[in-house]
Copies of this chain bind each other. A is one copy, B any other.
């Protein structure tokens, strides 16, 4: 087992969310005794929204979520850990469909109201009998699993359980939002898979929930990277039970929609950052802010070019104030940039401006900043108003050990 990440956060106190019950069970997808099947049951009338991987080779679970999302209604969520069921052909698709059908049968709903996600080994079809027995046992256990239990049950090689909560007031009614997520711990031959789920008791129309989730995703989950590799199974789902009894939100302009949107985005940001904090081999949490780009989208691409650069990530791992590698990563992004307008700050300290190192540059305070666990890199391109912020981890021997030294 990997040690707990040095960037870990304690598991928070999480409120109950009315209209959602939880159960876990052991299907035994691997040779272990831990819970590896999770079932969440939702009250009738629960809205659902989701975003899934852009991979052209998605898992059958991702394809099932994409088929079910347009209906907008959810009664159940099944999550399998230890087997991603990805790239398993018709056999894997059938196993996924049968497990979801069994969940629908147990919950007394339509299969289209059940969502599924799996994470773990790729290329091995989900074993049907274990999957069905597992979801039956998880159903029998509904009401017995804590948020911590389900967060642990969806994890694979995560080194700590990751969850968060927020509140919002909608037209006088307080609503709760809870999110839990699994991140990018993995062993060969697993993919760095991110599965994230949020549950709220707010009443909200699924189309609006989808719009707010997509907006939040664009500023949170889409702004993190550990190694630039995109999983075949990445899935984020948002469920809203409506049990809080607020006047249902249906449009962006409705009273309280802003507050809910802000709480959802804030929740997603914390979950996204927790994934980075558990990035494989991570020893430093890095925030990269790019401003002065020709557009926000351009700023995002420049920021991701920096965040995904092995040379930048290894320099940070070495505590090296190597702003030249940041210049390189800006230059290779393919976005509009002018060398002689570029400025770069580490930990708020300007190191380069107008195409060269600043006069009287003193590396000592910058190096001191780089010794800490939280690194701040700011780049201004000096061209326009476009800006973006992304988060990543450093690239260490730990990453190589996790991904090269262990065999499947």
Residues of A within 8 A of B (CB): 53-58, 86-89, 91-92, 121-123, 125, 188-189, 191-192, 227-232, 308-311, 314-315, 317-325, 327-340, 342, 352, 354-357, 394-397, 399-401, 403-408
Contact = CB atoms under 8 A, between A and B. Distances in A.
Contacts of A88: 355-356
A54 B322 CA distance: 21
A403 B309 CA distance: 12
Given A87-B327, A310-B229, A123 B406 contact: no
Given A89-B354, A315-B404, 19 more contacts: A56-B330, A57-B331, A57-B342, A87-B339, A189-B324, A229-B309, A229-B310, A229-B311, A230-B328, A232-B327, A310-B399, A310-B403, A314-B404, A318-B404, A320-B408, A394-B404, A396-B400, A397-B401, A399-B400
A403 B56 contact: no
A54 to B, nearest CB: 7
A89 to B, nearest CB: 3
Given A89-B340, A311-B192, A327 B57 contact: yes
A339 B227 contact: no
B89 A355 contact: yes
Contact of A123 (B192, B323, B332, B397): B323
B400 A400 contact: yes
A393 to B, nearest CB: 12
B325 A356 contact: no
A87 B396 contact: no
B57 A337 contact: yes
Given A54-B334, A403-B315, A404-B395, A324 B229 contact: no
Contacts of A355: 87-89
Contacts of A58: 331, 339
A63 to B, nearest CB: 9
B330 A57 contact: yes
A317 to B, nearest CB: 4
Contacts of A356: 87-89, 91-92, 123, 125
Contacts of A227: 310-311
B397 A324 contact: no
B87 A189 contact: no
B87 A324 contact: yes
Contacts of A397: 397, 400-401, 404
A121 B328 CA distance: 12
28 contacts: A54-B332, A56-B332, A56-B333, A56-B335, A56-B336, A56-B338, A87-B327, A87-B355, A89-B340, A89-B354, A122-B324, A123-B357, A188-B315, A188-B318, A188-B322, A189-B324, A191-B328, A228-B309, A230-B331, A232-B327, A310-B310, A310-B403, A311-B403, A320-B408, A395-B400, A396-B404, A397-B401, A397-B404
